[in-house]
Amino acid sequence: MQFWIGKSLSELKAASLTSRLIALATLAAFVFFSLALAEEFPTGSEAEGTRSYDDFDTPAYCGSSCHTDFYQQWKQAMMSQAYTHHWDEIEYFELAVPHAKRDEKVAEVEAGCNGCHTPLAFLAGDVPPPRPEEGSRANESVSCDFCHTVTGFVGDTPYNFNWVSEPGDVKYGPRTKEEATESPNHEMAKSDFINTAEFCGTCHNEKSPYDIWVKSTHLELIEGPYYEEGYVCQTCHMTQGKLRSASMGNTYDDSWMHLFHGAHDPGKIAGTVELRINPDLNEVVPGEPVKFTLILFNQKTGHKFPSGSVEDRIVWVHVEARDADGSIYHLPVDKKGFEGEEYTIASDVLAYQDMGIALDDPDFEGVRREDVPIGDRIFRMPYFDPQGRMTIQQWNTASLGVDYRMGPRETKVETYTFEVPFEAAPGEMTVTATMNYRKLVKPVADFLEVPEEESEIILVNEHSTTVEVLP
Ligand code: HEC
Ligand code: HEC
Ligand code: HEC
Ligand code: HEC
Nearest-CA residue for ligand 3 atom 9 is 79
**Ligand 2 atom nearest residue 175's Cα:** 27
Assess contact for 326 and 363: CB atoms under 8 A.
no
Q: Sorting pLDDT into bands at 50, 70 and 90, what band is 25?
A: low
The whole-angstrom separation of Cα 386 and Cα 319 is 35
* CA 116 – ligand 3 centroid, Å: 9
Return the residue whose CA atom lies nearest to atom 36 of ligand 2: 144
Question: Does 8 have pLDDT greater than 80?
Answer: no
* Summary count for the chain: helices (H), strands (E): 15, 21
Between 165 and 247, whose confidence is greater? 165
Please say whether the dihedral angle defined by the alpha carbons of residues 416, 314, 107 and 200, taken in this order, is positive or negative: positive
Nearest CA to ligand 3 atom 39: 200
**What single DSSP character describes residue 112?**
H
**DSSP-assigned states of every residue in 29-70:** HHHHHHHHHHHHS--GGGGTTSS-GGGS--HHHHHTTTSHHH
- Establish whether residue 110 lines the binding site of ligand 4, counting it when its CB lies within 6 angstroms of any ligand atom: no
| Cα(20) to centroid(ligand 3), Å | 39
Ligand 4 geometric centre to CA of 175 (Å): 30
Ligand at shortest distance from the CA of 127 = 4
352 alpha carbon – ligand 1 mean position (Å):
26
Least reliable range by pLDDT among 11-15, 109-113, 413-417: 11-15
Ligand nearest to the CA of 215: 4
Q: Over the stretch 191-218, which tens digit does the pLDDT of each residue have?
A: 999 999 999 999 999 999 999 999 999 9
Indicate the helix (H) or strand (E) that contains 440.
none
Closest residue by Cα to atom 12, ligand 3, is 117
Pocket test for ligand 4, best of 97, 113, 392, 458 (most atoms within 8 A of CB): 113
**pLDDT at position 12, please?**
37
Predicted confidence band at 434 (pLDDT cuts at 50, 70, 90)? very high
Whether 149 contacts 169, CB under 8 Å: no
Cβ pair 205, 157 in contact under 8 A: yes
Mean pLDDT of 341-347: 98
Question: In angstroms, what is the span from residue 227 Cα to ligand 4's centroid?
Answer: 23
Nearest Cα residue to atom 22 of ligand 1: 262
Greater model confidence, 404 or 6: 404
CA 268 / ligand 4 centre spacing (Å): 19
Residue with the bigger pLDDT between 465 and 250: it is 465
Ligand 2, atom 6, residue with closest C-alpha: 144
- The region of weakest confidence among 3-17, 60-74, 345-359, 435-449 is 3-17
Residues 394, 236, 405, 376: is their CA dihedral positive or negative? positive
pLDDT, one tens digit per residue, over 222-231 is 999 999 999 9
For residue 30, the model assigns a pLDDT of: 46
H or E element in which residue 438 lies = strand 427-438
- Is residue 144 within 6 Å of ligand 2 at its C-beta? yes
What's the gap in Å between 80 CA and the centre of ligand 3?
A: 9
The helix or strand, by DSSP H or E, that contains position 400, with its residue range, turns out to be strand 399-400
Q: Residue 413: what are its φ and ψ, rounded to 5°?
A: -125, 130
For residues 246 and 34, which has the higher predicted lDDT (pLDDT)? 246
Q: What is the DSSP string of 259-327?
A: ---STT-HHHHTTSEEEEEEES-SEE-TTSEEEEEEEEEE-S-SS-BS-SSTTT-EEEEEEEEE-TT--
The pLDDT mean for the chain works out to 92
Average of per-residue pLDDT across 172-187 = 86
Q: For residues 287 and 420, is the Cβ–Cβ distance under 8 A? A: yes
C-alpha triplet 333, 334, 337: angle, nearest 5°? 125
Question: Which numbered atom of ligand 3 lies nearest the CA of 268?
Answer: 26
Instruction: Kindly report, residue by residue over 232-261, the tens digit of the pLDDT.
Output: 999 999 999 999 999 888 899 999 999 999
Q: Reduced to 3 states, what is the DSSP secondary structure of residue 145? A: helix
Q: Which protein residue's CA is at the shortest distance from atom 32 of ligand 3?
A: 260
Domain annotation for the chain: domains and CATH numbers: 41-256 (no CATH), 266-469 (2.60.40.3880)
Q: Which of 51, 73, 79, 300 to mutate to test the pocket of ligand 3 (most atoms within 8 A of CB)?
A: 79
Range scoring the smallest mean pLDDT among 8-17, 34-43, 241-250, 414-423: 8-17
Residue 27, pLDDT > 90, answer: no
> Quick one: DSSP state of residue 394?
G
Q: pLDDT tens across 47-79, in order?
A: 999 999 999 999 999 998 999 999 999 999 999
Of 14-18, 143-147, 193-197, 214-218, the one with minimum mean pLDDT is 14-18
Is residue 219 within a helix (H) or strand (E), and if so which, with residue range? helix 217-223
Residue 1 has what pLDDT?
A: 37
Return the ligand 4 atom nearest residue 115 CA. Answer: 5
Task: Compute the distance from residue 36 Cα to the ligand 3 centre, in Å.
Answer: 30
Q: Are 372 and 378 contacting, i.e. CB atoms less than 8 angstroms apart? A: yes
Amino acid symbol at 391? T
Q: Does ligand 2 have an atom closer than 6 angstroms to the CB of 163?
A: no
- CA-67 nearest atom, ligand 2: 35
Burial of 365 (0-12, 13-18, 19+ CB in 10 A): exposed
d(CA 159, CA 148): 18
Q: How confident is the model at residue 171 (pLDDT cuts 50, 70, 90)?
A: very high
Ligand number nearest to the C-alpha of 171: 2
CA distance 216 to 183: 37
Model confidence at 38, in pLDDT bands (50, 70, 90)? Answer: low
pLDDT at residue number 46: 94
Calpha distance 286→455 (Å, rounded): 38
Does ligand 2 have an atom closer than 6 angstroms to the CB of 234? yes
Reported as a pLDDT band with limits 50, 70 and 90, residue 182 is confident
